[in-house]
Amino acid sequence: MYTADAKRYERMKYKRCGNSGLLLPAVSLGLWHNFGDTGDYDNMVRMCTVAFDNGITHFDLANNYGPEAGSAERNFGRILKEHLKPYRDELIISTKAGYEMWDGPYGNWGSRKYLLASLDQSLMRMGLDYVDIFYHHRMDPDTPLEETMGALEQAVRSGKALYAGLSNYDGKTLEKATAILEERHVPFIINQNRYNILDRTIEENGLKETAHRLKKGIICFSPLAQGLLSDRYLNGIPEDSRIRTDGRFLKEEQLSSEKLEMIRRLNAIAGKRGQSLAETALAWLLHDEDITSVLIGASKPSQIIEDLKAFENTDFTPEELQEIDSCIVY
């Protein structure tokens, strides 16, 4: 049986999630990739235990993570049962529903029918009585917002989730959702959105400013832009890269010559800081007071250790921040 490192909490910083009572690790582990049935189970176990040994207490999932959909939750449930069960009260486990999960009209988007059924299925796959955070995974243009927020309210009232979260919302919709949830006294505390040096969408759509004003946390996924903000692509596209092996989320056309030039300029800035490009990209997020946690992915335990090196220098001079911004051409 796995025994966690006794010094794990000395290795991580924890930040308050908005104005709630919940503290999240500055770095969380996402199970979007590499935890499905195509992955190696023993490697999954090592990634989760290495993460926890370094103070990463938050494990983020969704109903459709895999492949196949549901398999990441099922595999994580096995890891919990076989290795992490004694530490359940030290863990933050989150899941989501909002993208297509099963056939027919009731397995997608944001209806009460879908969200509550999906949560029950997620709990069954992971062998849990509750998750710590349950997210609506994306805005639904057709379902009334009151219905979707009512489903999150029911998830919390039933004891199947401790907190509610929203993912991939914009600032305008976040403001409306917050008003509904606060009127119903639902502990909505966190937004999950893509955010990195190359992708500033949450600044452009008002999410970042609105979350700050409403005192809600932000956890950002794709902090390395699916690996673009690393040394992986500085000299072209490797044959074993995600672009070559799994074109679902990162496509070759996304690595234009203009973007490659931006990445190389950012890499030069990182070098002057004595960091790798990935370390600087993560540090850029970690230095931001509006960011509660940075959600990393990994394919092997050593990547988690490498990412945590970003903590060694999260300070930026105004000149460095300006130089980073000057690299980005939209």
List, for residues 247-282, the tens digit of each pLDDT value.
555 666 667 788 888 999 999 999 999 999 999 999
For the stretch 113-141, pLDDT in tens is 999 999 999 999 999 999 999 999 999 99
Determine how β-strand 27-30 pairs with β-strand 293-296: parallel
Alpha helices for 80-159 (secondary structure H): 112-126, 145-157
For the stretch 11-27, pLDDT in tens is 999 999 999 999 999 99
Summarize the chain as % helix, strand, coil (round to 5).
Answer: 45, 15, 40
Rounded average pLDDT over 299-307: 96
Residue 92: which residues within 8 A CB-CB, separation 6 or more? 22, 24, 28, 57, 58, 59, 132, 133
Dihedral over Cα of 162, 44, 120, 61: its sign: positive
pLDDT over 90 for what percent of the chain?
A: 89
Q: Rounded to an integer, what distance in angstroms lies between the CA atom of residue 109 and that of residue 114?
A: 7
For the stretch 171-194, pLDDT in tens is 999 999 999 999 999 999 999 999
DSSP type of residue 82: I
Could you tell me the domains of the chain?
A: 8-236+278-319 (3.20.20.100)
Q: What is the pLDDT of residue 238?
A: 62
pLDDT band at residue 97, thresholds of 50, 70 and 90? Answer: very high
Crossing angle between the packed helical segments 277-286 and 301-308, to the nearest 10 degrees = 60
Q: What is the pLDDT of residue 199?
A: 96
Contact 17, 23 (CB under 8 A): yes
Residue recorded with tokens 């992490």: 84
Determine how β-strand 14-16 pairs with β-strand 23-25: antiparallel
- Mean pLDDT, the chain, rounded, equals 94
For the stretch 45-79, pLDDT in tens is 999 999 999 999 999 999 999 999 999 999 999 99
Residues in the chain, overall count: 330
SS3 231: helix
pLDDT over 70 for what percent of the chain?
A: 94
Rounded average pLDDT over 212-233: 94
pLDDT band at residue 329, thresholds of 50, 70 and 90? Answer: confident
Q: What is the pLDDT of residue 328?
A: 87
Residue 102 has pLDDT above 60, yes or no: yes
Q: Rounded to an integer, what distance in angstroms lies between the CA atom of residue 63 and that of residue 295?
A: 17
